[in-house]
Structures are given as structure tokens and as C-alpha cells.
Amino acid sequence: MQQRTIGGRSVSAIGLGGMPMSIEGRPDPERSIATIHAALDAGVTLIDTADSYHRDANEVGHNEELIARALREYGAAGADVLVATKGGHLRPGDGTWTRNGDPAYLKRAAKESARRLGVDAIGLYQFHRPDPAVPYADSVGALRELLDEGVILMAGISNAGIAQIDEAREVLGGRLVSVQNQFSPAFRSSRSELEHCAGLGIAFLPWSPLGGIANAKELAARHGVFQQVAGETGTSVHQVALAWQLALAPVVIPIPGASRPASIRDSAAAADLELTRDQVALLSA
């Protein structure tokens, strides 16, 4: 598969988002394991998770533990996968999301994530979402300390605007390697952050790149030009959406969520789909 870079590390151009395997409506664990293994078979070497990807209040880190199990069962090749996890977003178990950007909390959460993942140091740790009750620099400062202490190898942020990207770079002393924001054919307001990251050489990881769990099936109906290009290329509309994002900048690494092997196989194939300049322009309009 085509490779891209996060920090100094080469990863697959298409990653796997683990959230659908652990929240409401999740499949049984065996199907999730099969989905992760299908991703690895297809050449995926980036898996995104978070300690908040769970359903019930008493199962924090469900997705992290699921991914750790899948990698163990896959064998030695699983050790080459970059697992990116996040902290600072919480799920109390009633379907809502809350935030905690307290530096002491984030440092504890990162160490717990490392334990669940079974690693000495987390490959990529990301501050999940800004907490309005805590100064942003203080929250990102926890990542700086985690880097300095060797708890994490690389630091990133998520759901951030341009000013926060620049602030995080300053706080981290230039060691910010990734920004994970929502971006898809239906949600393009992060285009300015994508372009900012491209100018800085920072990886941009679109989450929900197909429109989210509820809307991915409607992509063709809602965005006819993507279906048009899918017909021209003989591929799926989802592959076209991901290939379009890859064409926007060499720093873009989409992380589509999946809970079925067939879904991630289809997404992974987008890394080999080359769109023409005219097709990219049409899809970007």
C-alpha cells in the first residue's frame, strides 16, 4: 500500500478507525478481530483508537484492549502497526460525551492506555478534544511531559482549529506530528486546518472521512459527483471519497471506521486509486 508519514514514521496511506467496534451497535468481538486482521492483511499499519471508545461506564478502554488482543493474535507482523490513541474525552455510560483536559488526568489516562495496549510507550498519543474549563496550553503541556518522560513517542491533537494547532506546536517545542479533525465530502469546514497542516508538514488525519457511521451509506445519494467518478473509475463511491482526500495533500491519512472485514478491504483499496486532476477538481467544487 502507498505509504505516508507521521512524524518520522512511515504508515499506510489509509488507516483504520476502531470506534464502531466498541460503541453502541458494536459487533461481537470475533467479527471485530476479523475486521482488524483484514485491515492488516490489506496493508493497513495505522489504527486509531481512544480510551473513550466504549459503551458502558465500567469498560473504559474497551477498544484499546480489543485492538491489543487483535494485534497479539495476528502474530509478529502486528508489532509493526502504529496504534494511535487519545485521551481527554470521556463517556459516562449514558450515551453522552464529556471532557477532561486536566494535565494530571491526561497523564494518568495515557499511562492507563499504555497498560491496556500492552506497550512500554504509546506510539502516538493525541489530546482528544479541547476542554473549555482548562487552558489549552496546560492540556497540551501534559503531552509535552509525557514525551519527555518517554510514556509516549509522538504527540498529536484532535478537533483543533488553526490557532490551537499553532499553540500546540509552540508548547510541544515543534514536536506536534498530527492533527485529527472531522473531514469528509459532507463536512469540509476543516479544509483550512488541512491546508495549514500541509504547509507545516504535519499529518492530517480525517475522522469520519466517509461521513460517519450513520451517513456513510448515503454518500452516493447525497454527493452525486462522487458516484459519477466511481462509475468512471469502476470503484466504490467510498474509495473515491478516500482517494479524493489523499489527493488534497501528501499529509492526509484518512482513518475510516469499520466493523466488517469487507468495509476495511474496500477502504484500503482507495490507496491505489489515482484520480485525474479534473476529477479532483470536480469533487472539490
Residues involved in catalysis: 53
**Extended strands (E) in 53-197:** 82-87, 89-90, 98-99, 124-127, 155-158, 176-182
Give yes or no for a contact between 153 and 123, defined as CB atoms under 8 angstroms apart: yes
DSSP output for 240-258: HHHHHHHHH-TTB----B-
For residues 135 and 132, give the distance between their C-alpha atoms in angstroms, rounded to a whole number: 7
Going by C-alpha positions, the residue among 254, 252, 245, 250 that lies closest to residue 280 is 245
User: Bridge partners of 85?
Assistant: 125
- Across the beta sheet with 16-17, what order do the strands follow? 16-17, 46-48, 82-87, 124-127, 155-158, 176-182, 203-207
Please, are residues 131 and 101 in contact by the beta-carbon 8 Å criterion? yes
